[in-house]
Amino acid sequence: MAKNEFINKLKDRHIAITDGVFAIAMTILVLEIAVPTMADISSGVALNEYFLSYLAPSILIYFISFYIVYNFWENTVILFNFKKINNTILTLNMLTMATVCLIPFATGFLFKFYTYTDVNVFFSILVLIISLLYILMFILLIRYNFKEHFDKKDEIKTAIHDYSDGVELDNLKLYIKGAALTLFYILLVPVISSLISLVLAFVSPLLSLLSFLLILILRFVIRIRRSSKDELEDIELTDDEKEFIGNIRGCIYGDD
């Protein structure tokens, strides 16, 4: 079996196990919410206290964590649209999956101790680590799929410097605008949110949690504002580059 064929088969298996990991992690999140026993709830007052002090915050934390995990799954789907994948990237993906599996535990920790700074710091750092792993995978995938362009660093720097004068290196815009740049922005969003959450954890645990809603808001804004800039209709691209951009656009915008 040829090496490329083996890697492609391995990639398919990684996609399958990755989807399974995310499906299980997203399901386990709700199971972390503890249901009280009859011994715990002895009166209507105790039940109201359970709803206000535990259940309501837990449901909010559950939805935030669920969307964070969904966001990471969506990032994985987009990254696996790169045509060429190597063992390093697949290994990084497995490391990322192992870290994603800690999110249900961290979420269960928040359910019980969401008012504690240390717990919010732990959750924020966990999301930050996963987000940085996705950034690293993106950088490696870009370099691996378009390595020939990075062999011309001096020309690229010159072209960027003189870009306002109309000087362009072939396919330069693939790196400074368009779908690849939009994908980088999208991958950067959870990094920004987790850093903000990390700072806010020392100010207000509630604000620390709510800051993760920025992931939802910023991804929506990025998609709306950059949809017209990603078309690259006036640029000559190779078939591989066209396929890559088409796949990425399809994942980001749902284009055909």
- Which one has a higher pLDDT value, 83 or 64? 64
DSSP codes joined into one string, 188-249:
HHHHHHHHHHHHHTTT-HHHHHHTTHHHHHHHHHHHHHHTGGG--TTS---HHHHHHHHHHH
Express each pLDDT in 195-246 by its tens digit: 999 999 999 988 999 999 999 898 888 888 877 666 655 566 667 667 777 7
What pLDDT was estimated at residue 80?
A: 86
- The pLDDT value recorded for residue 168 is 47
Mean pLDDT across the stretch 85-94?
Answer: 90
Domain count along the chain = 1
Candidates 223, 205, 183, 254; CA nearest to 64 is 205
pLDDT digits (tens, 9 = 90+) for 139-177: 888 888 777 666 665 655 555 455 444 444 555 555 555
Examine the pLDDT at 256 and tell me if it is beyond 80.
no
pLDDT at 134: 95
Burial letters for 229-248: b for 16+ Cβ neighbours within 10 Å, e otherwise? Answer: ebebeebebeeebeebbebb
- How far is Cα 68 from Cα 49, in angstroms, rounded to an integer? 28
Residue 229: per-residue pLDDT? 64
Q: Please check the confidence at residue 1 and state whether its pLDDT lies above 60.
A: no
The whole model's pTM is what? 0.81
Specify the pLDDT at position 166. 45
Query: What count of Cα atoms within 13 Å lies in the side-chain half-sphere of residue 221?
Result: 8
Residue 158's domain spans which residues? 3-253
pLDDT of residue 192: 94
Which position has the higher pLDDT, 178 or 20? 20
Which whole number is the average pLDDT over 120-138?
Answer: 95
Tell me what pLDDT residue 38 has: 62
Of 36, 103, 51, which is closest to residue 72 (Cα–Cα)? 103
Summarize pLDDT for 10-54 with one digit per residue, the tens: 778 888 899 999 999 999 998 888 776 666 666 767 667 777 777
Which pLDDT score is estimated for 148? 65
